[in-house]
Amino acid sequence: MSTTMTGSKGKTKSANNGAPGAPIVGGKILAEVGLPPDPDNLYTQTVGTMLHAAEVMNLPDYLKLILAQPKNEIMVHFPVKMDNGEFRLVKGYRVQHNNALGPYKGGLRFHPDVHLDDVKSLAFLMTMKCSLVGVPYGGGKGGIKVDPRKHSKAEMERIVRRFTSAIAHNIGPDYDIPAPDVGSNSQHMAWIADTYAFLSEVGGRDASAVITGKPVEFGGSLGREKATGQGVVDTLVEMLPELKLKPEKSTFSVLGFGNVGSWSGRIFQDKGAKMTAVADHTGFIINEKGIDAADLAAHVNAKGGVAGYAKASKCSKEDFYKTKVDVFIPAALEQMIQEPEAEMVNCKVVAEGANAPTTPGGERVLQSRGIEVLPAILCNAGGVTVSYFEWVQNKTFKSWDLATVDRELNKHMVQAAGKTRAARKKYNCDLRTASYIAALERLQHAYEVRGIFP
């Protein structure tokens, strides 16, 4: 089993993409492109989901092959001087999955366990997400194998600038545009833009379009920080009524209270929903009367996690998952909802804020229990959509006000939800398969008109 950066690390339970012992979905294509038949591997799982959707819609085999592997996998090693004068060799990645619809686009993860398989999976998901949400981008992802919490600001600056110099010839405002992800923030994006401006021939203000998620004072967009959470809530508002749920009357729990989780919580709460349980890497908390999401976000900012929050009770992992809510929002890492977690959750809808939080095995359990899953490529597409708005503002030297950003984001989210619903109706399938079909249809049309050259 390959090492993947997951919250489930160390678990032995199979996250097979078929029932235990069953053949892997898309096995023939995976074998043809040289992928090992490992059902627990995140990349096998994510590509397997696409191959399943491709079968349902009868996508031509040549497109399945193209999409089953990224175009480029870049791995770099670079020395960085630490504050104590010693040198460390740091590893970084940039995977460019597909650019049929436009420049590669996707975040940079700074995490000690980041691994090529994770980055490939996340790059692949970006191709699907950008296609579904109707932005003119392909998919990419990158990362640095580093724990930002263990480095001083000066060390992080040197690590980020050295990484940028190592990949500077592989990114660009019209070629590959990174963004923040787990562990990286707007300050890191500012250092990347600044370093790139010095190293590239683009220069000047144009160079800042090489990256999104920048601080607003340096070419960032209003609304980018909350965008993914905003998109999660836009999706919920769009999809809950047909599941006979009223957003303003819903209760919810959140796994992971970082950027995506805390903004989803704050914005859903502003719609009238009530948050009753939260978990992150520091612990699990519960309060059936409600936990104020803005107040908890302030606590997390000050203390680094939900642990020690005085206005809720500490609880066990089991109590957290078993808390009865209408909506459960996983917003931490990949593969956290496996079969045991899926057996425990006590909700009507799972809204995937994180990328690939539910394993195929976990999803089968959720489906058998009648729990609806709003898939990540739809639900968390708000971040890349507002990243696109940031890039458009950089390219046109304009600044949009927040109302414009929110309104335009909502249009993309509603449209993506509509395309997903239409595919579900046409193919009579689950929402995840439908979202992949809608994404694949746009890619298929692009390949049909572009052809393959030379």
Q: Which of 353, 360, 361, 362 binds ligand NAD (CB under 6 A)?
A: 353
Determine, following the binding rule CB under 6 A, whether residue 333 of this chain makes contact with ligand NAD. Answer: yes
Give the whole-angstrom CA distance, residue 16 versus residue 13: 9
Render 75-107 in DSSP notation, one character per residue.
Answer: EEEEEEE-TTS-EEEEEEEEEEEE-SSSSEEEE
With CB under 6 A, what is the number of residues at the site for ligand NAD? Answer: 25
Give the whole-angstrom CA distance, residue 210 versus residue 173: 4
What binding mask, one character per residue, do residues 357-386 give for ligand NAD by CB under 6 A, x or -? -----------------------x--x---
Q: Which of 258, 360, 361, 362 binds ligand NAD (CB under 6 A)?
A: 258
Only segment of 180-188, 191-199, 285-293, 340-348 that touches ligand NAD (CB under 6 A)? 180-188
The least distance separating ligand NAD from the CB of residue 88, rounded to whole angstroms, comes to: 22
Handedness of CA 402, 407, 408, 414 (dihedral sign): positive
Determine, following the binding rule CB under 6 A, whether residue 352 of this chain makes contact with ligand NAD. Answer: no
Among candidates 351, 124, 93, which has minimal Cα distance to 229? 351
Only segment of 148-156, 288-296, 340-348, 349-357 that touches ligand NAD (CB under 6 A)? 349-357
Residue 7 has which token pair?
């919250």
**Residues linked to residue 275 through DSSP beta bridges, in sequence order:** 252
Only segment of 54-62, 77-85, 249-257, 401-409 that touches ligand NAD (CB under 6 A)? 249-257
The three-state secondary structure class of 285 is strand
Catalytic residue among 105, 120, 141, 274: 141
Determine, following the binding rule CB under 6 A, whether residue 259 of this chain makes contact with ligand NAD. Answer: yes
Question: Would you say 78 or 225 has its CB closer to ligand NAD?
Answer: 225
Give the whole-angstrom CA distance, residue 229 versus residue 213: 14
Question: Would you say 202 or 216 has its CB closer to ligand NAD?
Answer: 216
C-alpha angle with apex 407: 404 to 408, nearest 5 degrees? 85
Determine, following the binding rule CB under 6 A, whether residue 260 of this chain makes contact with ligand NAD. Answer: yes
Give the whole-angstrom CA distance, residue 398 versus residue 33: 44
Question: Would you say 275 or 331 has its CB closer to ligand NAD?
Answer: 331
Determine, following the binding rule CB under 6 A, whether residue 355 of this chain makes contact with ligand NAD. Answer: yes
- Is 28 an annotated catalytic residue? no
Only segment of 38-46, 158-166, 176-184, 194-202 that touches ligand NAD (CB under 6 A)? 176-184
What binding mask, one character per residue, do residues 6-45 give for ligand NAD by CB under 6 A, x or -? -x--------------------------------------
The least distance separating ligand NAD from the CB of residue 49, rounded to whole angstroms, comes to: 16
**Residues in region 210-239 near ligand NAD by CB under 6 A:** 228
Residue 307 has which token pair?
């642990």
Give the whole-angstrom CA distance, residue 316 versus residue 28: 42
Only segment of 25-33, 158-166, 252-260, 343-351 that touches ligand NAD (CB under 6 A)? 252-260
Give the whole-angstrom CA distance, residue 6 versus residue 453: 38
Pairing mode, strands 251-255 and 327-330: parallel
Q: Which of 29, 279, 423, 438 binds ligand NAD (CB under 6 A)?
A: 279
**How many residues belong to the chain?**
454
Handedness of CA 248, 221, 181, 50 (dihedral sign): positive
Determine, following the binding rule CB under 6 A, whether residue 183 of this chain makes contact with ligand NAD. Answer: yes
Question: Would you say 70 or 383 has its CB closer to ligand NAD?
Answer: 383
Burial bucket for residue 384 (CB in 10 Å: 0-12, 13-18, 19+): buried
Determine, following the binding rule CB under 6 A, whether residue 345 of this chain makes contact with ligand NAD. Answer: no
Determine, following the binding rule CB under 6 A, whether residue 280 of this chain makes contact with ligand NAD. Answer: yes
**Residues in region 67-106 near ligand NAD by CB under 6 A:** none
Treating both helix axes as pointing N-terminal to C-terminal, what angle do 116-132 and 402-427 enclose, rounded to 10 degrees?
Answer: 90
Determine, following the binding rule CB under 6 A, whether residue 4 of this chain makes contact with ligand NAD. Answer: no
Sheet of strand 349-351, all strands in order from the earlier edge strand to the far edge: 313-314, 283-286, 274-280, 251-255, 327-330, 349-351, 372-374
Question: Would you say 30 or 300 has its CB closer to ligand NAD?
Answer: 300
Provide the annotated active-site residues: 141
Q: Which residues contact ligand NAD by CB under 6 A?
A: 7, 180-183, 228, 255-261, 279-281, 305, 331-333, 353-355, 380, 383
